[in-house]
């Protein structure tokens, strides 16, 4: 059995976009996880969801791994991007679009624009 850090590293290496969250992309278990998953789902991003509620070692391990105290946590190409507030800000500013474009992550630009229009 691998330890949590190794499992997190492997998950991040093997998937372009990973969201460590409470619940799943189809059934989030907290409002913050729901918000980030909702943005990614709406934008059509193909991502791996990791339910930290299903594994206490991963739940604590991901916090230690990123030195970030909360979940959700978004990773793109193995790099920690941020939690709910940061992802929300990046979505509204267009920075998330740029991050996806720079890393070759497919997303629906029109959907991203609609999010910004709705929050203008």
CATH of the domain at 9: 3.40.30.10
pTM of the predicted protein model = 0.95
pLDDT tens-place string over residues 22-61: 999 999 999 999 999 999 999 999 999 999 999 999 999 9
Structural domain count, the chain: 1
120 — pLDDT class (breaks 50, 70, 90)? confident
Its domain, for residue 96, covers 4-118
Q: Residue 91, CB half-sphere, CA atoms under 13 Å: how many? A: 30
pLDDT at site 1: 46
Q: Is residue 73's pLDDT more than 50?
A: yes
């Amino acid at each position: 059995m691998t330890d949590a850090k190794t499992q997190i590293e492997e998950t991040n290496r093997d998937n372009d976009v990973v969201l460590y969250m409470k619940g799943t992309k189809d059934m989030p278990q907290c409002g913050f996880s729901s918000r980030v998953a909702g943005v990614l789902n709406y934008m059509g991003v193909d991502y791996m969801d990791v339910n930290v509620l299903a594994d206490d070692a991963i739940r604590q391990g991901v916090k230690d791994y990123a030195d970030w105290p909360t979940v959700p946590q978004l990773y793109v190409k193995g790099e920690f991007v941020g939690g709910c507030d940061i992802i929300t800000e990046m979505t509204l500013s267009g920075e998330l679009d740029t991050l996806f474009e720079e890393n070759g992550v497919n997303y629906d630009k029109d959907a991203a624009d609609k999010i910004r229009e709705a929050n203008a």
